[in-house]
Amino acid sequence: MAKYLLLKHYRRTGPAWVPGTDIPMDQWSPEDVTAHIAFMQQVADELRESGEFVDAQALSPEGTWVRYDGEGRPPVTDGPFAETKDLIAGWMVIDVDSPERAYEAAARLSSAPGKDGAPIHEWLEVRPFMNELPPTVTE
């Protein structure tokens, strides 16, 4: 078994052949949002039943970049970086037998209903966890 991180992105660019897939969630009806969240919970429950679910969280849109800039300098900035609060909507960690199974789970999540119940065809990033530490570099 290997762990994978499935990242849900705020890419509002569904396929051109599917009208309405690029509509942000804040423009959906409350019923559409509820149906979307229920679908995500259903997928998590299915993965729990198969023993593949590890954890999942939706992320709040608030966020701040923090970096050490040296003594006496303010550590908080709101740019000029691309902000993950504008990019990442949430994540799920799964523990599966193969990359193909991770892709299958991500594709299922991609079919979540959006505005008016149509599948949103959203992009999910599938990232394997490192199974071992990177090599130590010595000079």
Q: With residue 107 as reference, give the H or E element that holds it.
A: helix 99-110
* 3 state DSSP class of 15: coil
For residue 22 the two structure tokens come to 């690029």
What is the domain count for the chain?
Answer: 1
Q: Which domain holds residue 122?
A: 2-128
For 48-76, write each residue's pLDDT tens digit: 999 999 999 988 777 776 777 788 877 76
- Give the domain CATH number at 75: 3.30.70.1060
Q: Structure pTM?
A: 0.76
Bridge partners (DSSP) of residue 94 are 4, 53
Q: Are 90 and 59 in contact (CB under 8 A)?
A: yes
How far apart, in whole angstroms, are the C-alpha atoms of residue 80 and residue 96? 37
* 3 state DSSP class of 44: helix
Q: Which residue has the tokens 């789970």?
A: 105
The answer to whether position 65 is within a domain reads yes
Confidence of residue 5 (pLDDT cuts 50, 70, 90): very high
